[in-house]
Amino acid sequence: MTTRPPPRGGPKGRKPPSGKFQPYGDRARTGPRTSARDAAERAARNRGDDAGARDPWTAPGTPHAVAAAAAAAAAAAAKPRPRPARVERDDAAPPRKAPPRPSARPAAKAYAKPVETRPAAQPSPPAPPAGPTRREQRAAASATLASGVQTLTVEADEAGMRIDRFLTARFPLLPFTRVQSIVRKGELRVDGKRAKPNDRLEPGMSVRVPPLRLDQPTERPRSAAREQDDAEFLRSLILYEDADMMVLNKPFGLAVQGGSGTVRHVDGLLAALTGPDGQKPRLVHRLDKDTAGCLIIAKTRLAAATLAKSFRSRAARKIYWALTAGVPRVRQGRVSTYLAKDEPTDADARMRVAKHGDEGASHALTYYAMVDQAAQKLSWLSFKPVTGRTHQLRAHAAHIGHPIVGDPKYFSVENWELPGGIQNRLHLLARRIVIPHPRTGRPVDVSAPLPQHMAQSWNLLGFDASRYDPIVEAPES
């Protein structure tokens, strides 16, 4: 027995209403006659607005969106308009022609070309004024020291900064001892929590600063001639420079930072290279006063934060040259100890080899290799420090029994006389540094020449500075 399928399209004789969207062309829908979309469309037609504008599920430009716009246009055209009230007119006025009645079938044309409603052009907002420079920000921060409690927000270029350095940068007139006192007493809060001086900041953090009181600063006249001399002196030390960083050849005897009785230092001289935007070049790491060689300087705060992270993650590679007393039995070796200060309160105190767990003890790791020796009395040693502790190389050289010549803190060899022609100065050079560039990430490889007193000793002992350095093959960790 053969049965005929029921007709598609519902009860016989019923046709789909005109003007509605038919997703399958002329074929009638076989699903439910009432849906959420149908209800929304009917409600929209009753209100007289566009249902497509209220439809959050239909993306603009899709077939459903085009069909919805066409249906809305057809409904708006088919709806009868209210007849205006009759107004008495002057006989001389010409009669107004009646507007043409809408076509009975506008849906096809509306489906072929959807109706687009564009908002009226809005006047463009005025450009925001240029923000203050770094110099203006520091001046404003210093001027508001006595205004009470302040809440500061860490910017993107201040990421990774220590909390004490952050306060020093924001409030340059605030003494560093006062900064340390604020943090130590718990008066400063980061995101509502107490902070330690060595805590690192991240962008977006909220730093609550207590009321700060300072005497009004007196403007000290700055000598333009002296600033020019300082700038020329620093430029004569540049080994590498680009828009983000530079590497200086720090001379022997020049301190990196100020201290008790230290007036002339690299950090102070860098003020002469302050840019037009008020940004002063910043130190990234430190060298001892009597250590010569490569010193990295960041030109922007963002570059300083990135380079500092490279040092903390040990992505920077450093090689030092030294002239030491005696000849080590093991030509290449590894020194791994714990170092602690003899006087914890003294920043320049002598470091001693400590035990694991001692108060203030930090692990220090150094690789060394002997490049050359002279008469079994002096050695040219090359060091590769993995960690960066205070006086690490000087303390490790003394620990293995071969202190660095001219070291006033760690040289303690009995009955040892300085060979003639060799100056009694620290023979330690930051020879080479390789570090990822703060913006491109590519390695920046810079080498420093021997300082004058070391070059004199090398010539006297017959050492060739171009000789192969075996320390480059030492492990990196």
Catalytic residues: 288
The two most distant CA atoms of the chain are separated, in Å, by 133
Query: 162: which residues sit within 8 A by CB, 6+ positions away?
Result: 197, 198, 199, 200, 201
CA 355 – CA 346 distance, rounded (Å): 20
CA 396 – CA 366 distance, rounded (Å): 8
H or E element, residue 429: strand 428-436
Q: Which of 475, 458, 456 is nearest to 467 (CA)?
A: 458
CA 444 – CA 438 distance, rounded (Å): 10
CA 333 – CA 325 distance, rounded (Å): 17
CA torsion sign, 10 to 14 to 16 to 17?
negative
Looking only at the bridges linking them, the beta strands covering 428-436 and 292-298 are parallel
Burial class, 157, CB count within 10 angstroms (exposed 0-12 / middle 13-18 / buried 19+): middle
Q: Kindly calculate the radius of gyration of the chain based on its CA atoms and give it in whole angstroms.
A: 39
CA 141 – CA 207 distance, rounded (Å): 14
Range 196-202 contact pairs with CB under 8 angstroms and sequence separation of 24 or more: 196/163, 197/162, 197/163, 197/164, 198/162, 198/163, 198/164, 199/162, 199/163, 200/160, 200/161, 200/162, 200/163, 201/154, 201/158, 201/159, 201/160, 201/161, 201/162, 201/163, 201/166, 202/154, 202/159, 202/160
